[in-house]
Each structure stands twice: as C-alpha cells, then as structure tokens.
Amino acid sequence: MKKTDIERIIKQGSTKQKIKLYFTDIAYFNTVGMYTAELIGSGDTATVNRPEKILTDKERDIIFNSIKEPKDIKYWEELRTWNKAFLMFKPQIKTYRYRFTYLYSLISNYANQRILHKTYEEAINDILSVVEEKKLREKLAKTAITSLKQFDTKIYQEKGFLPFIETPLANSDSKVSIVVEMINEEAKETKEYINTINVFLSKQLPLQPYKIFVKEEEDKIITEVNKCIELITWFDLGKTVKSPLDMPLQTSTKKKVGGGKDKEYERELEIELKNIKIHRWEDIEVKVTDEDIEDIKNAGR
C-alpha cells in the first residue's frame, strides 16, 4: 500500500476507511510481518518490533482514538470478530498444501516402483522371447526368478507357450489408484474450503493481505495437483507399451489365428486409463452455502 494513500486515508478518509486500514495492517502482520517481528524485553514492558508493517505506532493510535460513534464502534467490533474467525481457519489452508506435497511424494514413489518393476520384467522377457529352445528358456526364467526374488517374481506360462517371468507390482495399479482417489477427494474438499474462505473475505473481511495469502496458497496447491497430473500422464504413457506377456511365443508351430488378444488388451488399457485420472483443479465443482459462511462467522463470536 502506498504511503500517500495511507496518509490520505488518515487525514481525509471516513472513520470506516480508517478502521479498515487499521485491520489491513493487522492482516499484513498476520501474513507477512509476523515472520520478521521480534519481541523486545519481557513481562509488562515487552514490546514487539515490526520491521514489516503498513502503519506506524503513531498512525495506529490516531486511528484507534478516532473511533467514537456507535456505528464505527460496531464496524470495529465486526472486523475484530471476523479477523479472529479467519485466523482460526487460516492454518488449515497451509495444512492442505502440505497434504498435497505429501500425496505427490506418495504417488511418485508408487508410480516409480511400478515402472521400475515393469522395466525389469520387460527387459528380461525381451531376452526370453528370443530363446525358443525349451530347456534353455526354462533355465533362464528360473535364474531370473532367483535374481529378482525380492520382487516376488514368479514364472508366467500359459498352456502351449514357453515361460516368461511376472513381477506382481509391475502389473498392479492398486496403490497408485488408491492415492489418485485420495488426491481427488482431497482436492474437492480443499477447493470447497478455499472458496468458502474467499466468499467470507469478500463479504465480511475485505482485507487485501488475507486475499493475497489465500491466493498464493491456492496457487501452490494447484501446482502440486498439476504435478500429480503430469506424473499420472507419464505413468499411463509408460503402460501403453505392450510387453511380451501380451503376445507370448507358442511352443507349437501351429499359427494362432485372430487378433482378439490385441483388441482385448486395448479395451482393458482404455478402461484402466480412464479409472486412473486426477481431476484438474478448474474442473472441480464445489458449492458454497450461507451455512458455510455462518459457520466461519460463529467461530469468531
């Protein structure tokens, strides 16, 4: 806020404008100034040094001493109440952001595990696929099982086909799917919470520092959600490559007719990709009710 605007409000503004300026200074301290403030002294003589502030102590006193009319006292009490209410809900906004940071690390870990196991599985199966001699194929498959014992790897073999290996985690999206569901639920809850706070600020506590704080936190949350979306996109793309398990090598010289397996694979993949989807922040629909606003207001009373 420009110093000239502050001086103009203090000298020429209405008492209501001065009160709003006073609480804007409080809001600035609660979102910015508190991180640079320091307590000087102790006990009854302790004072707070505020390097980051909008008003000087003298300007604050001038505004406070100008509040005399009942309507101005009422407005002061309202902003004081709504300010207290906002401060009760403010920490949860940061908690939501930390929650999304955690969910991103969780889904990243599960997705990387899945891709890593799939890479091992496909690399070995690529080698096995070129070995058509039955005994050598079986020996190599057993050797691979021993080497990848920590991955719970096992032999996969359909009747009439030579063996491949299969790693359970390489072919399971259950953990990733659970986290995706958690992200979608958390995003809806978070957006509803933030939208409610924004409506409350617009109607009851129109202080710019608080609006900026909420907007910055929301932007950080959106960034985390978008990171999760990018990760899932990469994860899904990594699953579109067919492994040898999808086209096993027959031991018989008789040619297998028909492309049923390919079409079935494509249908399953399409369903799977649809099920693993993180909703974009702008596509999430939420509703703010009058009851929601009243809940915030009551918290400050």
Q: 């100034």: which residue's tokens?
A: 33
Q: What is the pLDDT of residues 132-151, one digit of tens each?
A: 999 999 999 999 999 888 88
How far is it, in rounded angstroms, from Cα 229 to Cα 222?
A: 10
The CA–CA distances, whole Å, from 119 to 96, 166, 230, 242, 251 equal 34, 11, 20, 12, 25
Q: Which residue has the higher pLDDT, 183 or 276?
A: 183
Residue 169 has a pLDDT of 75
What is the DSSP track for 179-231?
HHHHHHHHHHHHHHHHHHHHHHHHHT---HHHHHHHHHHHHHHHHHHHHHHHH
Residue 254 has a pLDDT of 35
Residue 244 has a pLDDT of 40
How far is it, in rounded angstroms, from Cα 128 to Cα 164?
A: 7
Contacts of 43 (CB under 8 A, 6+ apart): none
Q: What is the pLDDT of residues 228-268, one digit of tens each?
A: 999 888 776 655 434 444 444 344 333 333 344 455 544 54
Among 36-50, 154-168, 182-196, 235-249, which is the least confidently predicted range? 235-249
Is 92:190 a contact under the CB 8 Å cutoff? no
Position 301 confidence tier, pLDDT thresholds 50, 70, 90? confident
- Mean pLDDT estimate for the chain: 85
Which residue ranges make up each domain of the chain? 3-68, 91-300
Determine phi and psi for 256, rounding to 5 degrees.
-85, 125
Q: What is the pLDDT of residues 2-61, one digit of tens each?
A: 888 999 999 999 999 999 999 999 999 999 987 776 777 777 777 767 778 899 999 999
How far is it, in rounded angstroms, from Cα 108 to Cα 99?
A: 14
